[in-house]
Amino acid sequence: MSAEGLIHLILWPTLLGFLINGIFGSKLSKSTSGFIACVGPILGFIATSLIYFTVPLLEAKNIVIYNWFSIGLSNPVNFSVYLDHLTLLMLFIITGVGTLIHVYSIGYMKDDPGFSRFFAYLNLFLFSMILLVTGSNLVLLFAGWEGVGLCSFLLIGFWFKNPEYNKAARKAFVMNRIGDLGFILGIFLLAIKFNSVEIVKIQESFGELSKNDPSIILITLLLFLGVCGKSAQIPLFTWLPDAMAGPTPVSALIHAATMVTAGIYLVARMSLLFNLAPFTLNVIMWTGVVTAIVAASIALKQNDIKKVLAYSTVSQLGYMASALGVAAYSTAIFHVMTHAFFKALLFLAAGSVIHGLHGEQDIKNMGGLKSKMKVTHLVFLIGTLAIAGCPPLAGFFSKDEILASVYSWNALGFIVLAFASVFTAWYMLRLYFSTFHGKYRGDSHTWDHAHESPWIILFPLIVLAFLSIIGGFAGMPEIISHHHYVKDFLKFSVVDHTHKVSHFFEFTLWGVTLVVLAIIAFLTYKKYTTVTKEDFEKENTGLSGLLWNKYYLDEIYAAIFTKPLRTLGSWFKNIFERQGVDAIVRIPGSIVTKASLELKPLQSGNISWYMISILLGFLAFALLFLFKF
């Protein structure tokens, strides 16, 4: 089959699944609606693989599905798909991880009354995400961007009866809107400047622009604001930890593996544009570096198993952003891929733990679960080692590459990132040991009922664990292999500007990594296998208290933005609106209503009056003609 045909197989089944589950969901049995939901991502994955194996994509394909509308711009805005290697890689991640998480969800959500609603949202999310990575113009990309935002909002607040969860959903929505404002302004400016919203057309017209052109800097900064919102960078990252209120598969799919990497994808997609703005690249790198260290340090002291993973996600997104900032786009995408594997794995394994403990999420009440959940324990260990950067697991190669790229650009950024990866190893091993080793600290009733999850949950975990082990080999550094698959794969899609680092540096980095990892493993083993409940509570004092309270960022935001805005809002509502706007708005309203009532008698039902008015109207036109012409 041709790519033109296969692309339909990727796009539409998820939308169809959403419609079926959304409209008839309540009438379907749980197994049918779960099956229907899984069809979409599986078909998508098969079609993506077929494209990969049968279609030589030496140059990007632009497949127009239909003309959408053509107003205002010189070229019509098409509903069209842009198919190149970057899109293909993202499609692999989305449909592959998506399939696994759909299968997992069937087991995880089986007792939930909103089963079909959950799958409807999940399919809609996949559709929007696919739209986002395949859209050939920024309007379509933005449609997907907003679609995933909407689904994220719906799924965070999935258990909408809990007001806390609704609050978290609202927070995510608002924070994303701030970013989206920047993004859409950026699109408008691009459309004005290049008279087109097609990504290819925009990239073609770069030739005449000089580096650091002020308009380009403005546009890229605005786009990056959008990235900050979606990919949870400082200062817009606080929504992501709260987003963990949603069901765990959602956290794994949307808030770790796919949606939050949309921002990274956007920058990589527009890499030619960003290469023209070194200033913006610097901003991106430093934002990424600071995000990485701040989030990693907060994660050190969190006790909620999902919160730790959430902050870890923010921190890893910081790594990706800093790779973008040093124009190592393919490295960032490589990390997106490996991160999708091991972070989805960690979230799903955490979900398996939560499932086994009947909803318990606090590590204070865990410990010693190794004996109860053998498979979960093993895959969690693999995930932990992968994210901590233990060779030769997936995270090691991608993170190593980011560190090397940043080092070649800016040594200070490298040092900060290195510290962040020490923190990463620490909080992950702390999480691992206090969950699976030592003595159980919760109540005995839960312990007696603690159980390993069913196979439908374990199967995706095993697949992801396997991918976390081998995923890194797709991008081995030069000193091991001359073949960097990911870089070679993406070389037509993104334009990297990286400097090489010396082999000596690489080797030193590896050696230090191994030694530090070993030391941290030893220290955390000592500390967290014998830890007690009281120890956890004692931790929250002094500097640790600062971390435990997330640098009081939520409180600071509340004091700086929310409170003044609320006060301003209530002033507007009570005084400005009631006595100002309302009064003014009511005047035309009342005029129109009055006019409506006054004119009503004209329609009297009296035929002779109707005839006279027709004649009068006709006469008026005739007179107009006589006097004017």
Partner 1 sequence: MLSIVILTFFATLVLFLGFSKNRDLILPVSVIGVALAMLCYMTQQTLWDEWFMNMMDVKGASRIFSIVILAIACCILPFINEFRRRGSEEMADFSGLLIYSLIGGIMMVSYKDFMVLFLGIEILSIAMYILAGADRRRASSSEASLKYFILGAFASAILLFGIALYYACTSSFRLDAEILQNSLLLNLSYLLIFAGLAFKIALVPFHFWAPDVYQGTPTIFTATMATIVKVSGFGALYQFISSCGIHMSEWLYWLISLVALASIVVANIMALQQQSVKRMLAYSGIAQAGFILIGFLNLQAENTWPIIFYLIAYAAASLVCFLAVHFVEEISFNDNHSAFKGLYYNNPFLAIVMSIALISLGGGPLTAGFMAKLFVLNNAAHVGNIALVIFALIFAVLSLYYYFRLINQMFSYSKDIKTWRIEYPYAGILAALCIGTIIAGIAPNLLVNLIK
Residues of this chain that interact with partner 1 (CB under 8 A) are 66-71, 79, 592-593, 595-597, 599-600, 603, 605, 607, 610-611, 613-614, 616-618, 620-622, 624-625, 628-629
What DSSP line would sit under 279-299, residue for residue? HHHHHHHHHHHHHHHHHHHHH
* Residue closer to partner 1 (CB basis): 79 or 237: 79
Q: How far is the CB of 149 from partner 1 (least distance, A)?
A: 17
* Residue closer to partner 1 (CB basis): 411 or 599: 599
* Residue closer to partner 1 (CB basis): 24 or 68: 68
Q: How far is the CB of 399 from partner 1 (least distance, A)?
A: 43
* Residue closer to partner 1 (CB basis): 124 or 337: 124
Tokens of 533: 């409940």
Q: How far is the CB of 592 from partner 1 (least distance, A)?
A: 6
Q: How far is the CB of 596 from partner 1 (least distance, A)?
A: 4
* Residue closer to partner 1 (CB basis): 161 or 600: 600
- Residue matched to tokens 């057309």: 201
Query: Any idea what the Cα angle at residue 266 is, between residues 132 and 225, rounded to 5°?
Result: 115
277 contacts: CB under 8 Å, gap ≥ 6: 211, 212, 213, 216, 217, 220
Q: Do residues 144 and 126 touch, judged by C-beta distance below 8 A?
A: no
In sign, the C-alpha dihedral spanning 16, 22, 27, 30 is positive
Tokens of 279: 């200033």
Q: How far is the CB of 161 from partner 1 (least distance, A)?
A: 20
What DSSP line would sit under 158-195, residue for residue? SSTTSHHHHHHHHHHHHHHHHHHHHHHHHHHHHHHHHS
* Residue closer to partner 1 (CB basis): 53 or 66: 66
CA–CA distance from 595 to each of 140, 343, 590 (Å)?
44, 64, 8
Type of residue numbered 556 = I
* Residue closer to partner 1 (CB basis): 444 or 603: 603
Q: How far is the CB of 581 from partner 1 (least distance, A)?
A: 16
Query: CA 400 to CA 331: how far, in whole Å?
Result: 10
Q: Which helix (H) or strand (E) element contains residue 79? A: strand 77-83
Q: At what angle do helices 503-528 and 394-409 cross, to 10 degrees?
A: 130
Which residue spans within 376-480 are E strands per DSSP?
none
| Strand 61-69 relative to strand 77-83, pairing | antiparallel
Q: How far is the CB of 57 from partner 1 (least distance, A)?
A: 27
* Residue closer to partner 1 (CB basis): 56 or 588: 588
Q: How far is the CB of 70 from partner 1 (least distance, A)?
A: 8
